[in-house]
Amino acid sequence: MKIAIIGAGYVGLTTAAALAYIGHDVIAVDNNEDKLTLLKKGRSTIYEFGIEQLLHNLKESLLFSNSISTAIQHAEIIIIAVGTPPDTSGNPDLANIKQVVSDIADSIQSGTKYTIVMKSTVPIGTNHFVKQTIMEKLADRGINSEINVISNPEFLRESLALNDTFYPYRIVIGSNDKNAIEPLICAYDPILKRSFTPPNFLPHPDGYTRPHLVVTDPVNAEMIKYASNCFLAMKISFINEIAGLCEKVGADIKQVSYGLGLDERIGDRFLEAGLGWGGSCLPKDTSALLSAAAKYNYSMPIIEAVREVNYRQRQNIIDKLQHNLSDLAGKRICILGLSFKPNTDDIRESAAIAIIRILAENKAIISVHDPVAMTNAQREITDIDVRYCDDPYDAVENADAVILAAEWDIYRKLDLNRLGEKMNNLLFVDGRNILDPHAAKAAGFTYIGVGR
C-alpha cells in the first residue's frame, strides 16, 4: 500500500520504518529540515535500537519529504504522528495537528479517497474535529473526495520502539464506520497475522503470539490511550508512595515490590520505585486528562495525586542530599544518566534535568555523564554551567556526591572502588535503586536509595 506519514519523530519514524519493512511504500514528511537532511542520508534522528539498520535497508521503500502535498499525492493512507506537547497550562497544544490538517485539506484533489489515521495522542473529540475541519475546507474549495478519519493511538515505548511496533500487545482502531477501517487493517495485516519475516536483529519475542485487535469508536480509542498512560503513571506513583513509607518503617521497597507483583492481578511491571516517571508522554498525558476532566467540571483526585507523588520524588532526593551535605552551595554533585530512562537519548521531562535545575538554584557545582543523551542535554540546558564528561569516572572527579538518575546498564557495572577513589566524599544517591546497598557500603559509600 502507499502510505504517507506526517511527522518523523519517535513514533512517525518508527512506524514509517516498520511499515516500509513489511512491504508498503512509505513517504515520511517532516518540517524540520535538519532532521530531513539526516534521514535522507539514511541516518536516524533518534536513538532507537535497530532503526538505523532498517533505514539502511529501506532506501527504495521509505522516502522522506518536507511536502505534505507531494507525499499524499499517491497515498491511500495518511498517518498523522506529529507532536502534541503540553502548552504552558498543561493542555495539549494542537498547533502541529491543526497545521497538518490544514495542509492536508489544502492538498487533497477531487475524486480521491483517503484514510486519515490519527496516531498522535490527542484530546478526546479531536478525531471528530479533524474530520469536520477537512470536510469544511474541501467544501469551501469545491472539492469532492472520500475522507475517513480513524483513531489509531500508539502504545510504543521509547527504547523498545521497533519491538513494540512489530510485536504490539494490541492495536486499537477507533472509527464510527466499520467499513472505513479496512485499509488500515490491510496495512497492518502482516503484523496482525505475524506473517512477516522478522528483521534478523529483532526476532519474535519468546511467548509472543499475535496482537489483540480492538475495534471501537474514536472517543473510546482516545480514552483507551489516555487511560493506559495514566494507569502506568499511577502504578509508578503508587510504588513510590509505598517506598516513602518503607523508609519510615524500615522496609525494603525492592522486596515489597517483588512480593506485591507476584499477584497476577497486580503484575510485576512498572513497580520500580525511584525518581518517578518522566518522558514526553506520562507527564503530558496525565496533565491532558486532568484538563479534559476540568472542561466537564469533573474532578480526578487519583490522577492529581499521581502527579503530586511523582514530582515530590525529585525534591525528596534533593532533601536527602541536603540532609547529608547540609549546604549544597559549592558542593560538587555528579549526575549519572540524563535521559528520562535508559536506552534513549530523549531528555523530555527527564528527572535528571529537573534535578540539575534544582542543584543549580542551590549553587552546586554540577558534572554529568550519559552514554547518549549529552548532546540533547547541552541543547536544553543553556543557562547552567555543567561539566559534560564522556566517562563516568571522570564525571565523579572530586565529587561530594553522585546521583544516579537513569539506570543505564553501564552504571550497573560501575567499579565502586575505582569510583570512590576519584571522589571527595563517598555519598551515592541511587535514584533508581540499581546498586546493592551492601556492596556500596562495602566500598565505603554512604548509600541512599528510594524506599530502602
Nearer residue to ligand NAD within complex by CB, 95 or 329: 95
Residue of 47, 48, 55, 84 that binds ligand NAD (CB under 6 A): 84
Write down the H helix ranges in 160-300: 161-166, 182-192, 218-249, 253-261, 282-295
Find the catalytic residue in 230, 246, 281, 334. 281
Residue of 99, 102, 107, 425 that binds ligand NAD (CB under 6 A): 99
Q: Which region among 27-35, 322-330, 333-341, 364-372 touches ligand NAD (by CB under 6 A)? A: 27-35
CB of 126 to ligand NAD, least distance (A): 10
Cα separation, 209 vs 194, whole angstroms: 8
Q: Which region among 30-38, 124-132, 192-200, 405-413 touches ligand NAD (by CB under 6 A)? A: 30-38
The answer to whether residue 7 forms part of the interface with ligand NAD (CB under 6 A) is yes
CB of 267 to ligand UGA, least distance (A): 11
Nearest of 147, 148, 6, 227 to residue 15 by alpha carbon: 6
Cα separation, 443 vs 418, whole angstroms: 9
Residue of 29, 63, 232, 351 that binds ligand NAD (CB under 6 A): 29
Nearest of 70, 63, 158 to residue 107 by alpha carbon: 70
Cα separation, 130 vs 137, whole angstroms: 11
| Binding site partner of 448, from ligand UGA, ligand NAD, none, Cβ cut-off 5-8 A by kind | none
Active site residue 281: yes
Q: Which region among 10-18, 177-185, 387-395, 421-429 touches ligand NAD (by CB under 6 A)? A: 10-18
Nearest of 95, 86, 68 to residue 12 by alpha carbon: 68
Cell numbers standing for residue 370: 550519559
Sequence-separated contacts (24+) of 93-98 with Cβ below 8 Å: 94/122, 94/123, 94/126, 96/7, 96/120, 97/122, 97/126, 97/130, 98/133
The answer to whether residue 123 forms part of the interface with ligand NAD (CB under 6 A) is no
Instruction: Name the DSSP class of 108.
Output: P
DSSP-based three-state secondary structure for 270: coil
Cell numbers standing for residue 190: 502482516
CB closest to ligand UGA, residue no:
281
> What DSSP assignment string belongs to 396-441?
TTT-SEEEE-S--HHHHT--HHHHHHH-SS-EEEETT--S-HHHHH
Cell 546498564 -> residue: 409
Nearer residue to ligand NAD within complex by CB, 31 or 91: 31
Q: By CB under 6 A, how many residues form the interface with ligand NAD?
A: 26
| Binding site partner of 274, from ligand NAD, ligand UGA, none, Cβ cut-off 5-8 A by kind | ligand UGA
Q: Which residues bind ligand UGA (CB under 6 A)?
A: 121, 154-158, 229, 232, 236, 270-272, 274, 276-279, 281-282, 340-341
| Binding site partner of 82, from ligand NAD, ligand UGA, none, Cβ cut-off 5-8 A by kind | ligand NAD
The answer to whether residue 407 forms part of the interface with ligand NAD (CB under 6 A) is no
CB of 173 to ligand UGA, least distance (A): 16
The answer to whether residue 118 forms part of the interface with ligand NAD (CB under 6 A) is no
CB of 168 to ligand NAD, least distance (A): 11
Cα separation, 104 vs 255, whole angstroms: 53
The answer to whether residue 82 forms part of the interface with ligand NAD (CB under 6 A) is yes
- Whether the CB-CB separation of 274 and 432 falls below 8 Å is answered with yes
Question: Bridge partners of 64?
Answer: 28
Nearer residue to ligand UGA within complex by CB, 163 or 367: 163
Positions in 222-241 near ligand NAD (CB under 6 A): none
| Binding site partner of 35, from ligand NAD, ligand UGA, none, Cβ cut-off 5-8 A by kind | ligand NAD
The answer to whether residue 81 forms part of the interface with ligand NAD (CB under 6 A) is yes
DSSP-based three-state secondary structure for 277: coil
The answer to whether residue 8 forms part of the interface with ligand NAD (CB under 6 A) is yes
In the chain, the N- to C-terminal Cα span, in Å, equals: 53
Please identify every residue annotated as catalytic. Answer: 281
Q: Which residues bind ligand NAD (CB under 6 A)?
A: 6-12, 29-32, 35, 81-84, 96, 99-100, 120-121, 154, 156, 158, 280-281
